[in-house]
Structure 1
Amino acid sequence: MSRLEITAPDGAPEVEPGDDLVAIVLLMASLADGDVLVVTSKVVSKAEGRLRTGTREEALPGETARVVARRGETMIVRNHLGLTMAAAGIDNSNVPQGQIVLLPEDPDASARGLRDGLLDRTGVNVGVVVSDTAGRAWREGQTDIAIGAAGIVVAEDFAGRRDGYGNELAVTLPAVADELAGAAELATGKLGGRPFAVVRGRADLVLPRGEHGRGAAALVRPDGADLFGYGAREAVVRALRAEVADQRPFGAPASPTELSAAVRDVVGLVPSHTGAADGALLVTCPRGLMRALTALTFAHGWMVHTTDHPNEVRLRPSSG
């Protein structure tokens, strides 16, 4: 039998900049070896002095690494932590009017500090998750995810194992840190004033003393590796602009075969292979189709280069 218990105590005090979160946690919760403490990023940010006067719109440029998509007033961005979130994760709820709260500067470091502090003061070995709320691209609603973690396995790798029928598992990687954050949110709620939760029953995920693990940063896919680096409209606009700085989110260059097929299907041109080691292609392109060819090539991680022959261009994989 498997059993999971989640406790989110009532009565947490209002957290102010400089407050000792370890002391507050010990005041609120009873911890045992193998527990996982889930703390909302809001209280971590407050304790770390991440409150600012102003609006989300005013703070957004400073927290944005890249705009992913924009629909009216809603802006989805990749922030400096690598997280893709609405308004970079900047929040104006549960704070005084006229103020906002930014995400912690280094949520994994925040989690490590909490874990070390709890171990030093109590001798108890727990895992720590710093959670925040995020939407999902193909699902309505939001759920909590781990943006910081220490002392826990953040993802269980089942690749290479076999199920009960003997089938080999290829890409099975449960993001257990996110699952713990989502489970804890069922107990903490959004309006209950319960920013701490203790999850008991997954001691197998808690690492030994002195081992903090890879942290929640390990769950962030590198820019360009997530397959969906831009929103649909933004992808079209950026491909047509074809600026080198915009190319990384399109991912690694496609194969010459894939690009050739796309060029034939979309603009009706037939590339020829040059035999070059990088797989470069030659295309004779009428001037009226050059804009379309350039955008198509750019979106596949390639670049268009002119040659000495009129209307002939060379397509080469981007090195950026």
Structure 2
Amino acid sequence: MSLHVVPVEGIGEVTVGTDLARLVTEHAELLEGDVVVVTSKIVSKALGLTSRSDRDTVVDQGTDRVVARRGPTRIVRTWSGLTLAAAGVDASNVEVGTVLSLPDDPDDEARAIRHGIAASTGLQVGVVISDTAGRAWRVGQTDIAIGCAGLSPFESFAGREDVHGNALAVTAPAVADEVASAAELASGKLGGLPVVVVRGLPAHLLLQDDGPGAAALVRAEDDDLFGLGSRDAVVAALGGSDGRGFPTDPQATLALVVDLARPNALPVVVAGEVVEITARRDRPDEVLEAGALRQRVESLALAHRLHTTVRVTLA
């Protein structure tokens, strides 16, 4: 297999109301089965998502919840489920004093572009809307798919065997993300080339319908092991948050939570959702430890997404 990744020349400046499907077909020589990668920036410009409001205000509007915060830097989960710095709000390549927000539904915008191309050319192509994102474990950024249509967002290899006969269980290449990254390599960040055509993808990755979109690549909150930054998780647990950002764990029990809380010599009984701690009334050290233990159990239970009532009994 060989891929051809070709930036589209002549796109120019996109303004409010620009028909992106028409813009693509006027400048790109498309073939059946091509994938058109469009940056989120020009999608947002066409939608009129430029704002002169304070940047922090715009970030607040795009934030579902904060994942991690360090000084002025905020990593947030957006209303569409993406985890991005500053909710993806961008101040580059726009008029000074303005910022640009991401589309509310990037998959819907990808579908609209795909349908527009099909209507004018009769061609079935895939469409990816790309944006730049950091990686929690690595320095630097890469482009990812925040919207897609007509393309499998990922390919599951579960149930297949590798060349040594080992069964694969969880391998699932994020096809749409890889396409977005390839497009960014070809276009570059500074070349003013917001549309790229990717040609040569295997036919089974191209869909006749729109498909599930890039939303299928967003990990559910309950399964996200990195839903909070390290310091932010401590703050959330001690602050009595609503539990969002902490993953569920089917193996977690209140007995495990109590063990993690290190009860030392204090008697602790777990009955259903109730944890009862007993301390001797005439032992101030035990009374103090019982209060501290109660706080640890409550915080650890919240971090494990377990409901509990913790009681302290003075004997």
Q: Does 1:310 align with 2:308?
A: no
Alignment check: 8 A CA contact 2:67 2:245 kept = no
State how far apart, in whole Å, the 1-side matches of 2:217 and 2:310 are: 41
State how far apart, in whole Å, the 1-side matches of 2:125 and 2:5 are: 14
Question: Which residue, 259, 264, 280 being the options, matches 1:264?
Answer: 259
Aligned residue type for 2:21: V
In structure 1, the residue matched to 2:277 is: 284
Alignment check: 8 A CA contact 2:274 2:308 kept = no
In structure 2, the residue matched to 1:38 is: 37
Alignment check: 8 A CA contact 1:267 1:293 kept = no
In structure 1, the residue matched to 2:283 is: none
Name the Cα RMSD after superposition: 1.8
Question: Which residue, 238, 247, 250 being the options, matches 2:246?
Answer: 250
Alignment check: 8 A CA contact 1:287 1:311 kept = no
In structure 2, the residue matched to 1:217 is: 215
TM-score (norm 2): 0.90
State how far apart, in whole Å, the 1-side matches of 2:206 and 2:301 are: 47
Q: Relative to structure 2, which stretch is displaced further, 3-12 or 167-176? A: 3-12
Aligned residue type for 1:47: A
Gaps of 5+ in 2: 279-289
State how far apart, in whole Å, the 2-side matches of 1:72 and 1:11 are: 40
SS of alignment partner, residue 67 of structure 1: strand
Which whole-Å deviations, capped at 9, do the CAs of 1:256-314 have from their partners, x for residues lacking one?
55x4344324423575453x5xxx4644251232212211121111233155x7269xx
1:57-68 equivalences in 2 (<5 Å) = 57-68=56-67
Q: Relative to structure 2, which stretch is displaced further, 8-17 or 166-175? A: 8-17
TM-score (norm 1): 0.89
Q: Does 1:239 align with 2:243?
A: no
Q: How far did residue 53 of structure 1 move?
A: 1.1
SS of alignment partner, residue 310 of structure 1: strand
Alignment check: 8 A CA contact 2:297 2:310 kept = no
Which whole-Å deviations, capped at 9, do the CAs of 1:36-67 have from their partners, x for residues lacking one?
00000000111111111133212111110001
Which whole-Å deviations, capped at 9, do the CAs of 1:56-101 have from their partners, x for residues lacking one?
2121111100011111111000011100100000000000001111
List structure 1 segments (4+ residues) > 6 angstroms apart after TM superposition: none
Alignment check: 8 A CA contact 1:155 1:173 kept = yes
SS of alignment partner, residue 267 of structure 1: coil
Q: Does 1:207 align with 2:207?
A: yes
State how far apart, in whole Å, the 2-side matches of 1:158 and 1:76 are: 31
Question: Alpha carbons of 1:18 and 1:256: their partners in 2 closer, same or farther (altered >3 Å)?
Answer: closer
Aligned residue type for 2:63: T
SS of alignment partner, residue 224 of structure 1: helix
In structure 2, the residue matched to 1:76 is: 75
In structure 2, the residue matched to 1:316 is: none
In structure 2, the residue matched to 1:128 is: 127
In structure 1, the residue matched to 2:175 is: 176
Alignment check: 8 A CA contact 2:274 2:309 kept = no
State how far apart, in whole Å, the 1-side matches of 2:245 and 2:94 are: 34
Which whole-Å deviations, capped at 9, do the CAs of 1:136-195 have from their partners, x for residues lacking one?
000100000000000011110100111111110010111100000000000111110000
Which whole-Å deviations, capped at 9, do the CAs of 1:107-153 have from their partners, x for residues lacking one?
11111111111111001110000000000000100000000000011
Identity of aligned residues (%): 49
Aligned residue type for 1:302: L
Alignment check: 8 A CA contact 1:11 1:193 kept = no
Gaps of 5+ in 1: 313-320
Question: Alpha carbons of 1:311 and 1:26: their partners in 2 closer, same or farther (altered >3 Å)?
Answer: farther
Alignment check: 8 A CA contact 2:37 2:127 kept = yes
State how far apart, in whole Å, the 2-side matches of 1:65 and 1:46 are: 22
Alignment check: 8 A CA contact 1:35 1:203 kept = no
Aligned residue type for 2:33: G
Question: Alpha carbons of 1:190 and 1:160: their partners in 2 closer, same or farther (altered >3 Å)?
Answer: same
Alignment check: 8 A CA contact 2:294 2:310 kept = no
Q: How far did residue 24 of structure 1 move?
A: 1.1
SS of alignment partner, residue 6 of structure 1: strand
State how far apart, in whole Å, the 1-side matches of 2:274 and 2:250 are: 13
State how far apart, in whole Å, the 2-side matches of 1:152 and 1:132 are: 17
